[in-house]
Structure 1
Amino acid sequence: MRTGVLGLTRLDLAKYPFLREASRHVSDLGLDVRDLLAPGLSKVLDRALSRILEAVRFGKVLPDLSDEEVEILSFPVAIMMVSSVRSDFLVKRYALAEARRAEELLSSEPPDKVMLIAGDLGWSIRQVEVRVGDVLYEFSLGLIDYLRNASGMKDKKWKLVNRLVLHGEVLITRPEAARLLAEEVRRRVEELIRRSSGKLKGPPGVLAPYLERVREAMSELELEGAPRLEEAGEVIFEAFPPCMKAIYGALTEKKHVPHVGRFAFTAFLLHVGMGVDEVVDLFRQVSDFSERITRYQVEHIAGERGGKTRYTPPSCSTMRSYGLCVGADELCRKIRHPLSY
Structure 2
Amino acid sequence: MRILFAAAMAALMCSTAVPAAAQLNDPVVAHPDPESLFTSPDPKLHRNKQAALNIIKVLLEANQWDRASEFLTDRYIQHNPLAASGLDAVIHYFTQVAKAKPTPVLERTQRPIVAVQAEGDFVTVLFVQTLPVPGKPDQTYTTTWFDTWRFVDGKADEHWDPATLPQPRPQAAAADTATSQLADRAAIDRLMWDYVRAADTTDADRYASVFTEDGSFNSIKGREALHKFIADLDADQDKRRADGTLTGDMRHFMTNQNVEFVSPDHARVRYYWQTVFGGADRANPPRMAAAGTGVDDVVRVGGRWLIQSRNVAPTNE
Shorter-chain TM range is under 0.3
- Specify the structure having the higher radius of gyration (Cα): 2
Q: Which has the higher contact order (CA 8 A, sep 6+)?
A: 1
When normalised by structure 1's length, the TM-score is 0.18
From the two aligned structures, give the one with the greater helix fraction: 1
When normalised by structure 2's length, the TM-score is 0.19
